[in-house]
Amino acid sequence: MLSHAQIVESAPALTLRWHGEDDTAAFAERLAALPGLRNAFITLHGDLGAGKTTFVRHLLRALGVTGRIKSPTYAVVEPHDTPDGLAVSHFDFYRFNDPREWEDAGFRDLFAAPGLKLAEWPEKAAALLPAPDLALRLDVQDDDTRQVRLDAATPLGARLLKELC
């Protein structure tokens, strides 16, 4: 009986330290400059106050979104368009309880359409979401900095991580 060694490939990851909002903005600008971002799905993980919405605001600003950028906490999704026509959907599933909302709100169509999707609290809708290209985990440290871990779960995510390094 032949036996083959199991091939185990770990998913690409990157860990960063953000010392303040300037670091958050600088990273958002680097990410916004990547062409592959236009059709990516990015999940944001972390406790309340970790900086998920702040990061999204900086990313949207870096993509050219102007005007008020509000958290979709109650609406579940806020749509945005960049000056060059990129559709961005910012989801916040914190209050998402009923899977019927997924169909009723048209989320299936939003995820099938081209554009950038950003999701806070994705674990609340995990069974309905596709695999993220990138998952960002923000953890507040004792010195109030943020440790940020980026994990790639798709080939697009791996390309984005490689371009960020």
Task: Look at the block and give the residue holding tokens 């009923």.
Answer: 98
Q: For the chain, where are the alpha helices, taking DSSP H only? A: 21-32, 52-62, 100-104, 107-112, 155-164
- What tens digit of pLDDT does each residue of 126-157 get? 888 999 999 999 999 999 999 999 999 999 99
- pTM of the model as a whole: 0.88
- What tens digit of pLDDT does each residue of 19-61 get? 999 999 999 999 999 999 999 999 999 999 999 999 999 999 9
| Predicted pLDDT of residue 10 | 58
